[in-house]
Structure 1
């Protein structure tokens, strides 16, 4: 019986079965991400006294984690650390968090993945016509 199982594992029934039982393919995106993007939480600080606390708000695919400890902006605007549904962390301005039309905002990795999926779907539909 063990030999029969080995044969069954080695020889797929058809192309679809071969894809199902194969190990899969690892995908690494080649997109260069220009903004602060991290798999681990970015450093945060407590918001200033006169500043509205955005922590816990949800917009688009993000949840606000806290105010970013930013040295680059020199107090010109507040940056907030946000966590995407996929688990990645990025920064966003207060203006983008408060924007009501910003309901599809997501991290750069998710944005790239959606772009690639739409591109593939367009390619498949166009080739069928």
Structure 2
């Protein structure tokens, strides 16, 4: 095992050229497992179970049916059936990339109102991570450590 095996792709990706050939070469690198950063959030390539609003929910004046709303790259599919939390209702959204995720109702309502909680267009976490790497945004400490490891390996 070489010293370069310790370097993760998230640190090295901003240092690599971003053309088509480099993308094909880099795609044959090591596999890594990605997971959403927030606890209680679900990210899946398979459709998530949804349910219809209950009569009790429909009777509440504060309840708004968000099904079918499009915000950025996300489309609201329905209420998450299997994901339960104590701090707000989870809704299943589908990104244009085909991934399914859960989002809180307050996030969706804020995006519809124009008060986007994030600085970017609403999208799934995987698309957000990919966009960050394409734009060259990364953790500077990891990038510096990766650069140092590459320089050390070249000696």
Range of TM-score over shorter length: 0.5 to 0.7
- In the alignment, which residue of structure 1 is the partner of 2:76? 64
Q: Which runs of 5+ in 1 are unaligned?
A: 1-18, 121-129
Q: Distance in 2 between matches of 1:70 and 1:30?
A: 23
Which residue, 66, 72, 92 being the options, matches 1:54?
A: 66
Name whichever structure is richer in helix by fraction.
2
Task: Give the length in aligned residue pairs.
Answer: 100
Q: Distance in 1 between matches of 2:72 and 2:108?
A: 9
**Is it true that 1:94 corresponds to 2:105 in the alignment?**
yes
Given that 1:38 and 1:90 are in contact with CA atoms closer than 8 Å, whether structure 2 keeps it comes out as yes
User: TM-score scaled by structure 2?
Assistant: 0.55
User: TM-score scaled by structure 1?
Assistant: 0.65
C-alpha distance after superposition, 1:79-104 (max 9, x if no partner): 10000010000011111111123261
C-alpha distance after superposition, 1:45-84 (max 9, x if no partner): 101323321110001210000111145315x421100000
Q: Which runs of 5+ in 2 are unaligned?
A: 1-20, 138-155
Secondary structure at 1:119's aligned position in 2?
Answer: coil
Backbone CA RMSD of aligned residues:
2.6
Q: Distance in 2 between matches of 1:108 and 1:86?
A: 11
Given that 1:64 and 1:81 are in contact with CA atoms closer than 8 Å, whether structure 2 keeps it comes out as yes
Q: Which shifted more, 109-118 or 48-57?
A: 48-57
Secondary structure at 2:108's aligned position in 1?
Answer: helix
- Over alpha carbons, which structure has the higher Rg? 1
